[in-house]
Amino acid sequence: MAFERFKREEKGPRVNESIRDYEVRLIDDEGKMQGVVNTREAISMAKEKGLDLVEVDPNSKPPVCKIIDYGKYKYEQKKKQQEAKKKQVVVDIKEVQFRPNIDKHDFDFKVKHITRFLEEGDKVKVCIVFRGREMAHKQLGDILVTRIKEAVSQIAVIESDVKMEGKKMFLQLAPAKTQLVK
């Protein structure tokens, strides 16, 4: 494994002596561009101020480095990631399965579940499963899809229309925009 020493151990930016380029484009601690400087010289400038030389853009030629407090930089990056994660909305896709010859009560019960999922802000994938000779009567699936669309038309938007894949018929529903605002 002769190439192991060239692997980067850490995922973050390179700091101080781990910067391996001969020259860097330097930005000082006040945010002013200093131009292209020798890496050793840039590290000594950072040490004089009690700060670190951090590589902020390793892909440019020469790489861009900034004189900053690395601990504070890592802390701010972590806070930004946490804020972004907080604002992120996770939408689940719930699946509800039907059979073509479904009774009224079972249909109402499953539509009630679909309604609840949509009100919670989740998307719903309606799956109609055909077995055996039911494949010869796909029109029953179409009738069932029409009934489902009518039952949830007030709170749902059809995201993708009816698709037939093998022995299953799919319909994707999403909550209506007016429903999402609470």
Report pLDDT for 1. Answer: 47
Helix, strand, coil shares, percent, the chain, to 5: 40, 30, 30
Report pLDDT for 182. Answer: 44
142: three-class secondary structure by DSSP:
helix
Q: Residue 34 — very low, low, confident or very high, per pLDDT cuts 50/70/90?
A: confident
Instruction: Look at strands 23-27 and 64-68 and give their pairing.
Output: parallel
Q: Residue 178 — very low, low, confident or very high, per pLDDT cuts 50/70/90?
A: low
**Chain centroid to CA 81: how far?**
13
Domain ranges of the chain: 4-83, 93-180
Please check whether the domain covering 93-180 is classified as CATH 3.30.110.10: yes
Mean pLDDT to the nearest integer, 117-144: 92
Report pLDDT for 181. Answer: 45
Residues 77 and 86: beta-carbon distance below 8 Å: no
R_g over Cα of the chain:
29
Q: What is the mean pLDDT of the chain?
A: 86
**Percent share of the chain, pLDDT over 70:** 91
| Residue 2 scores a pLDDT above 90 | no
Mean pLDDT to the nearest integer, 131-135: 90
CATH classification of 4-83, choosing from 3.40.50.2300, 3.30.565.10, 3.10.20.80, 3.40.50.1010?
3.10.20.80
Q: DSSP secondary-structure letter at 15?
A: B
